[in-house]
Amino acid sequence: MTGLFLGCCLQDTYGQIASSVEEESGIPVRIVNHTDCIFRQVALLSTRFGDLRPNDTTEYRRVKYNVLKDDPLIYATVDGQHVGRYVKIPEEESKQYTYVIDSLKNKVIYVSRIEIDN
């Protein structure tokens, strides 16, 4: 009976450790909207950032890029239309990245990228 209890405790502790390591892995990224548009359902490399109002900034999110699963895109919906842009993939986990949406023309998001050393 003690072995069963100890096994459950170890399994629960291991699960907590594994999930906390998973939450801390990836590259910290945020998105800034420098336009007058409301971007809905914003996503970058399949990581969802939610809605982004004019001149708003998202929280940093940890992003993982899987070349087999993710497209190197930032995409969203504006006025019911899908918009997007291919972006340079963040490479180093020792940096924080900010993608700045500078403008929107012909359903193409124009984006600049800023790297900050941690």
- Measured between alpha carbons, how far apart are the two ends of the chain, in Å? 48
- The answer to whether 86 touches 109, Cβ cutoff 8 Å, is no
% of the chain with per-residue pLDDT over 90: 53
More confident residue, 13 or 60: 60
Q: What is the pLDDT of residue 17?
A: 41
CA 30 to chain centre: 7
pLDDT tens digits, 10-54: 455 444 444 334 456 788 999 999 999 999 999 998 899 999 999
Segments of the chain assigned E as strands: 27-33, 39-44, 47-52, 61-63, 73-78, 81-86, 95-105, 108-117
